Structure 1
Amino acid sequence: MNAIAFGALRDSHVTLSHGGGGKAMADLIETVFLPAFGPSSGEDQARLTADALCEPGARLALTTDSFVVTPLEFPGGDIGKLAVCGTVNDLAVGGARPLWLSAAFILEEGCEIALLQRVVASMAREAALAGVRIVTGDTKVVGRGSADGLFVTTSGVGVIPAGRDLAAARIRPGDVVLVNGVLGDHGAAILAARGDLALSTDLVSDCQGLGHLMETVLAAAPGTRAARDATRGGLAAALNEMALAAGCGIEISEEALPLRPEVRGVCEILGLDPLYLANEGTLVLFVPEAEAEAALTAMRSRPEGQGAAIIGRAVAASEGGAHTARVQMVTSFGGRRIVDRLVGEQLPRIC
């Protein structure tokens, strides 16, 4: 962390003094952050070494993301777990092996210290599961009403091994589309947890790290073309982004989509489309047809991929309908539906 800590925190809520750079801030860091993330060198930067950096042809991958979810704690996770998993997953879907994270916290005056401790402990657990270290960070405090309790920004660094090249531009017609599990759980769970609509469900977020799953898949299907995690905008957004980058079309099957009945029910009640619901542990993968079964088996061998399914294929841009319709779904009735990007957002503040 950025300050050498001392003393002991006695406050139950965050105050503006905890962001002032003095003893109160040092007490907060010593009591909340250092026990979870490890000792501080007292320097303003982390100094990193790893054998993977010395491998010929290896490349660094860097990503950053901010998290503003509400509520801060929800079934299946919290903002801390979300921050670690989201950043790890952004590295993993590019073929990188995640190694290090930074974490910056914007705390609102009045935030409960106990809540902050739970979030930080959650981050430490997820980092350990993912095999990454949180090596540096920062804390700022803003006045009441300025940050909705707690915002978290994480950046991640990983290493892409030599010879590994995942990119949507590599997708070719005939490639098979796979997902590692059910769709829409995160968005539906967040919506229910907000309590605004008196929905009662047993849904939990799919929030999980995908780094180990990606390594397993890449070992079994080394020809894998590209991968994305279907977060904001859901499966529809991920497929549209990849189709645009590849310059091809994508055709998916409605009957092949893995959806829980509860998610379908929430969407029917509220007029939402599950294709656009956010996910926080869902991998969308494109592999050559010859490696599809190997990739599917590899996914199902991991806990994160128990619900893996083949949902479609890449096609030439002119196949199956209008040239401008890059993503289409074959419906349960045998018709075709254009799956376009949303203009706005179905559900804000979900990650």
Structure 2
Amino acid sequence: MAPPRRLSAERVTLAHGGGGKAMRDLVADVFVAAFRNPEMGELEDQARLSSAALAEPGAQLAFTTDSFVVDPVEFPGGDIGTIAVCGTVNDLAVGGARPLWLSAAFIIEEGVEVALLRRVAASMRASAEAAGVVIVTGDTKVVGRGSADKLFVTTSGVGVIPAGRRLAASRVRAGDVALVNGVLGDHGAAILAARGDLALTSDIVSDCRPLDGLMEAVLAAAPGVRAARDCTRGGLASALNEIAEAAGVGIELDEAALPLRDEAKGICEILGLDPLYLANEGTLVLFAPAGEAEAALAAMRGHPAGRGAVAIGRAVEAHPAVVVMRTLLGGRRIVDMLVGEQLPRIC
């Protein structure tokens, strides 16, 4: 039986950030109730953790942190909590780490509905369970009206990279094949449609999902995979440019191979955007040696998060550090890094 609720307020007030009983009730009734697990222990000011994986000879600790701001806070396919967990899990996973633990810190604007916090916390718990990680510690702060936009979330993640596993953009070589695990741009398109100020209607939902299981399946089938990146802010184009620059190789894309929904392309045409720069929250690009590309692709397609996986191009010796796309019309164009601000508050 669930414990009785201690929080009677319907909206957050500054008292809920003041360190007293109101704050204790908010934390206990909304966040601890949602995240409670054995690793939380006795709710000290730190989580005390142990894992046999850390004791394996040659294993490495992986640690990452990220802050999340999105407008609207809730959108088709998820909410800010879903992004906060999946985004941090995926940052660990694409580096070859097996995610273990997360922390979560919340900056809450005065006046936010407590019901919204409960929904976000529930989303975070569900996403953590799907990824096989636990949220073990956290923090809350409340700021005055106008000092934030409803809710900001910061998550940090800890994982373990098994001995002998090394993924890095600098390891990509000419001839390696670029693979993506599914449709591009759904998150950015879903956020645009959900804002409601552009009179856009769409059935697109965010692709937000954890990718650690997918990465483990790929690495088991194709241990020679060189590098992987999740295509979040800046989209596929920015991820590929980062890899090309780090490895000193050129990358050639085939526009005909890019998996894009007609709805996403239509939204981009209306707004004058390039879908290659739309954010994703459950899509990655990885580079595998040519001899392992088919095995990696089959492993991706065999996982629920990779059913739509395709090869989209390859690394080449020509035009080092430059990404070039063969267009549907038979021409070639440079795909540069995102310049300026395309979509604010999307992840």
- TM band (smaller chain): over 0.9
Q: Is 1:212 matched up with 2:213?
A: yes
Consecutive aligned runs of 4 or more in structure 1 exceeding 6 Å deviation: none
Q: Which residue of 2 aligns with 1:37?
A: 35
Letter in 2 for 1:143: G
| Alpha-carbon distance in structure 2 between the residues aligned to 1:91 and 1:181 | 19
Q: Which residue of 1 aligns with 2:100?
A: 99
5 Å matches for 1:160-309? Answer: 160-309=161-310
Letter in 2 for 1:31: D
SS of match in other structure, 1:286:
strand
| Alpha-carbon distance in structure 1 between the residues aligned to 2:115 and 2:43 | 25
Question: 8 Å contact 1:7–1:30 — kept in the other structure?
Answer: no
Distance 1:32 1:337, change over 3 A: same
| Alpha-carbon distance in structure 2 between the residues aligned to 1:286 and 1:75 | 30
| Alpha-carbon distance in structure 1 between the residues aligned to 2:306 and 2:139 | 34
SS of match in other structure, 2:92:
helix
| Superposition deviation, residue 67 in structure 1 | 0.4
SS of match in other structure, 1:224:
coil
Which shows bigger deviation, 14-23 or 35-44? 35-44
Letter in 1 for 2:149: D
Q: Which residue of 2 aligns with 1:346?
A: 342
Question: 8 Å contact 2:248–2:320 — kept in the other structure?
Answer: no
SS of match in other structure, 2:315:
strand
Show structure 1 runs of 5+ residues with no match.
Answer: 1-5
| Alpha-carbon distance in structure 1 between the residues aligned to 2:199 and 2:57 | 56
Percent identity of equivalent pairs: 75
Question: 8 Å contact 2:244–2:321 — kept in the other structure?
Answer: no
Q: TM-score, normalised by structure 2?
A: 0.97
Question: 8 Å contact 1:12–1:112 — kept in the other structure?
Answer: yes
| Superposition deviation, residue 345 in structure 1 | 2.0
| Alpha-carbon distance in structure 2 between the residues aligned to 1:139 and 1:296 | 42
SS of match in other structure, 1:82:
helix
Q: Which residue of 1 aligns with 2:148?
A: 147
Question: 8 Å contact 1:220–1:295 — kept in the other structure?
Answer: yes
Letter in 2 for 1:337: R
SS of match in other structure, 1:278:
coil
Which shows bigger deviation, 24-33 or 212-221? 24-33
| Superposition deviation, residue 325 in structure 1 | 6.4
| Superposition deviation, residue 324 in structure 1 | 6.7
Question: 8 Å contact 2:102–2:157 — kept in the other structure?
Answer: yes
| Superposition deviation, residue 13 in structure 1 | 0.3
SS of match in other structure, 1:311:
strand
| Alpha-carbon distance in structure 1 between the residues aligned to 2:244 and 2:260 | 23
Q: Is 1:334 matched up with 2:335?
A: no
| Alpha-carbon distance in structure 2 between the residues aligned to 1:178 and 1:114 | 40
Q: Which residue of 2 aligns with 1:27?
A: 25
| Superposition deviation, residue 160 in structure 1 | 0.1
SS of match in other structure, 1:115:
helix
Show structure 2 runs of 5+ residues with no match.
Answer: none
Letter in 2 for 1:232: R
| Alpha-carbon distance in structure 1 between the residues aligned to 2:279 and 2:254 | 19
Letter in 2 for 1:18: H
Letter in 2 for 1:49: S
| Alpha-carbon distance in structure 2 between the residues aligned to 1:117 and 1:16 | 18
1:136-165 Cα distance to aligned partner (Å, 9 max, x none): 000000000111000000000000000000
SS of match in other structure, 2:238:
helix
| Superposition deviation, residue 42 in structure 1 | 2.9
| Alpha-carbon distance in structure 1 between the residues aligned to 2:124 and 2:148 | 20
Q: Is 1:17 matched up with 2:18?
A: no
Aligned pair count reads 342
Q: TM-score, normalised by structure 1?
A: 0.96
Distance 1:153 1:337, change over 3 A: same
| Alpha-carbon distance in structure 1 between the residues aligned to 2:264 and 2:257 | 15
| Superposition deviation, residue 7 in structure 1 | 7.8
Question: 8 Å contact 2:180–2:309 — kept in the other structure?
Answer: yes
Letter in 2 for 1:54: A
Question: 8 Å contact 1:233–1:345 — kept in the other structure?
Answer: no
| Superposition deviation, residue 301 in structure 1 | 0.4
| Alpha-carbon distance in structure 2 between the residues aligned to 1:42 and 1:156 | 18
Letter in 2 for 1:27: D
1:197-217 Cα distance to aligned partner (Å, 9 max, x none): 000110000000000000000
